[in-house]
Structure 1
Amino acid sequence: MDRAPGLSIRLKLTLSYAGFLMLAGALLLAVVWVFLLRYVPEDARRAPGGGPNRAELLSAFGPKAAWALAFLLMFGLAGGWILAGRMLAPLTRITNATRMAANGSLSHRIQLEGRTDEFRELADAFDTMLARLEAHNAEQQRFAANASHELRTPLAITQTLLDVARNDPSRDTGELVALLHTVNTRAINLTEALLLLSRADQRSFTREHVDLSLTAEEAIETLLPLAEKRGLTIEITGDMAPTLGSRTLLQQMTTNLVHNAIVHNLPEQGIVRVTTSVHPKSVALTVENTGEKLTPQLVSTLVEPFQRGTERIRSDHAGVGLGLAIVKSIAQAHDGTLTLTPRPAGGLCVTVQLPRRS
């Protein structure tokens, strides 16, 4: 927005300080003048040894009062300019940091010294915002790079298969079609996951009444054949967990959690536990699974997009690496939280807390 240039804050504060000092000085001189008038007659003749009359007092007091006001004006302007500069010095640092951030430099921090005051709180809040923006920007750059790599992989495989078919017309087309179908399915799944992630981040959905216990039952019913194929046992317990949100997104969130718990489990005799609970202001969905022991450092990275462990790559249900990233985005879009905790005996415990429907 283009705006007409105006006076600087420092100049405005200087004029305010000087004006206030002039007003205080004028009031003080007026009080002195009124006080003197009470003891000086208006036009009485000077008696031997007596004092001056009002006219003589005015001729003597007036010039000195004018000089005093002039001195107060100069002192107010100079002192106000210095004081305003010292008061606004932190604001200047904040402004410079803002300009640097606007030019793309998010690594700069103000780090204002001194005790806590309004400027210190503003600087600290700005530093916190810059840190979050820098982390978000780095995360977005990693996401873009990973997404480009993931999308490029199926396209490169498709191009290779087509080149092979073109150079070898005698090759079995049925096998080629099956491979192309698999690669294309993976590309479609990745694209749909990216769209779902974008939709959750934008919060472009209608909120309705949803019971997390029902979404958990539907997810388990859908994924039960996969669990039976892997020899896993699924246990579900808990109460009704009412919340507000998108039924489709919350169903996808629950399905992703149960699917991850099934896929990343023990080779045999593994267990998946799904629990819903109700708290005074929130409801919780907890999904636990047995498996290999995980370190807290590894668990902290599992919600990053395209994060995969070794077992994920070897799995025939490896997915696209966006399962927990989608869960985190859906939880945040519903004003909830996602907590991942490694189980001491091995495996993972994932808890999603959402606001309780009143």
Structure 2
Amino acid sequence: MRTPGVLSRRPVRLRLTLLYSGLFLLAGAALLIVTYGLVANTLRSTVPQDQITAITKSSGSMDNCKASATTPAQAEVCKQEAMAAAQGIANATAQEQRAEALSHLLDVSVAGLAAMALVSAVGGWIMAGRVLRPVHAITAAARRASEENLGERIALAGPEDELKELADTFDAMLARLDAAFASQRRFVANASHELRTPLTVMRTAIDVTLAKKERTPAQLEAMAAEVRQATGQAERLVEALLTLARSDRGTGPRSVLDLAVLAEDALDAAVPAARAGSLRITSELNPGLALGDPVLAERLVCNLIDNAVRHNVPGGWLEVASGGRDGLAFLTVANSGPVVGEPEVSALFEPFYRGCQHGGPDAPEGSGLGLSIVQSVVRAHRGDIAATPLPGGGLAVTVRLPGG
């Protein structure tokens, strides 16, 4: 297991400051080395020969050699000795001046580098604080956010940079969470209300029967039938809630399935309710192979057809078509019915929303979850769903799933 370093345990602001200062010191040291090398190469440690000759002549040593020498050979020897002495003195002086200049340059450069390093550390601390300010705002908003308080927003102003993008993404996430929690609260409240209704019916039927001093078998049978009907309604509602919860969690094991086969089975099951409403059923079922969860796909198809039968008009019609196109399997269910306005279309997919219901006198009451389940199953399969109101009344719903 890797042990975190010392710097990794420091605040980000301090680490950024140290990083800025370290980079500045490295760049300053490199510049100092280059400058020192260039100056050292420019300053000479020796004096050229022509300058030595000029120095010797200007000092009068050449004239003294000519005056003191008795022969030309002695004059030449004296001249060479004078030039050697002058060269030694000049080179020593040049080396001393060069060393002094380089030493002064080094002292001044190091002092300047140290001072600028201190300034860069202060500037880096301030700059790091400004850079991390949006991060602190995000952290504070995340701490204030809770299930009951998701209205907090950062609303970061400034240039369109990475931090602005992060803040906007965080705001969008809070908005999605707020909408999800609000939807969940509405769903729980509606589910509680819907479950309370059949329970109230059962309790009322039992209380009314028990309140009678003399109960005939016919009265008991009527109570039992009423309780049975309410129990069936509660059972259908619980089953729909479980299906919706399962589809919200995602799909189970997937396999290749045919929407045409599922639609044919669902139509066979819907025949009694369709006859009760005198509905005319037509179908054009071509193979529509999709890759999906067989259980959820079956509920999707059954809910679509059941919804079309339930929200129809007496003597109406129902059309079902399936097939494959552009790598997608599709299923379209269209039915007659009351006129649906454009604003109402999106509400049809809301949990517990009920439109007009005409599915015959014996048709059980809907749970209000049919299209909500269909939409949830489609999303779990990464498909798409579209509902189109028909001019003469009714609705056409088309579902597309990835092909298998």
TM-score, normalisation: structure 2: 0.81
Q: 2:284 aligns with which of 229, 232, 237?
A: 237
Which whole-Å CA distance do the structure 2 matches of 1:142 and 1:302 have between them?
A: 15
Name the structure 2 match of 1:322.
369
Q: 2:10 aligns with which of 7, 10, 17?
A: 7
Which whole-Å CA distance do the structure 1 matches of 2:131 and 2:149 have between them?
A: 26
Q: 2:353 aligns with which of 307, 322, 329?
A: 307
Q: Deviations over 1:299-344 (max 9, x none)?
A: 1111111111353799643221111111111111111122222122
TM-align CA RMSD:
2.5
Name the structure 2 match of 1:350.
397
**Higher helix proportion (structure 1 or 2):** 2
Following superposition, the deviation at residue 280 of structure 1 comes to 1.7
Distance 1:338 1:208, change over 3 A: same
For structure 2, the 5+ residue unaligned runs are 47-87
Q: Secondary structure at the residue paired with 1:344?
A: coil
Distance 1:145 1:234, change over 3 A: same
Which whole-Å CA distance do the structure 2 matches of 1:103 and 1:346 have between them?
A: 42
Name the structure 2 match of 1:82.
126
Matched, 1:30 2:33: yes
Which whole-Å CA distance do the structure 1 matches of 2:287 and 2:253 have between them?
A: 21
For structure 1, the 5+ residue unaligned runs are none
Name the structure 1 match of 2:73.
none
Q: Deviations over 1:44-69 (max 9, x none)?
A: 85569957444323431232122112
Q: Secondary structure at the residue paired with 2:9?
A: coil
Q: Secondary structure at the residue paired with 2:357?
A: helix
Q: Secondary structure at the residue paired with 1:300?
A: helix
Which whole-Å CA distance do the structure 1 matches of 2:365 and 2:209 have between them?
A: 27
Q: 1:64 aligns with which of 98, 108, 118?
A: 108
Q: 2:320 aligns with which of 253, 266, 274?
A: 274
Distance 1:287 1:103, change over 3 A: closer
Which whole-Å CA distance do the structure 1 matches of 2:208 and 2:360 have between them?
A: 25
Which whole-Å CA distance do the structure 2 matches of 1:292 and 1:313 have between them?
A: 12
Name the structure 2 match of 1:283.
329
Q: Secondary structure at the residue paired with 1:12?
A: helix
Following superposition, the deviation at residue 101 of structure 1 comes to 2.5
Following superposition, the deviation at residue 12 of structure 1 comes to 1.2
Which whole-Å CA distance do the structure 2 matches of 1:30 and 1:103 have between them?
A: 60
Name the structure 1 match of 2:230.
183
CA contact (8 A) 2:311 2:359 kept: no
Name the structure 1 match of 2:77.
none
Matched, 1:55 2:102: no
Q: 1:260 aligns with which of 302, 307, 321?
A: 307
Aligned residues: 354
Q: Secondary structure at the residue paired with 1:278?
A: strand
Which whole-Å CA distance do the structure 2 matches of 1:176 and 1:103 have between them?
A: 44
Q: Secondary structure at the residue paired with 2:313?
A: coil
Which whole-Å CA distance do the structure 2 matches of 1:101 and 1:16 have between them?
A: 33
Matches within 5 A, 1:188-199: 188-199=235-246
Matched, 1:122 2:150: no
Distance 1:335 1:186, change over 3 A: same
Q: 2:260 aligns with which of 213, 217, 221?
A: 213
Q: Deviations over 1:81-135 (max 9, x none)?
A: 2222222222222222222224742222222333432222222222222221111
Amino acid across the alignment from 1:271: W
Distance 1:234 1:20, change over 3 A: same
CA contact (8 A) 2:312 2:359 kept: no
Name the structure 2 match of 1:247.
294
Q: 2:178 aligns with which of 134, 155, 159?
A: 134
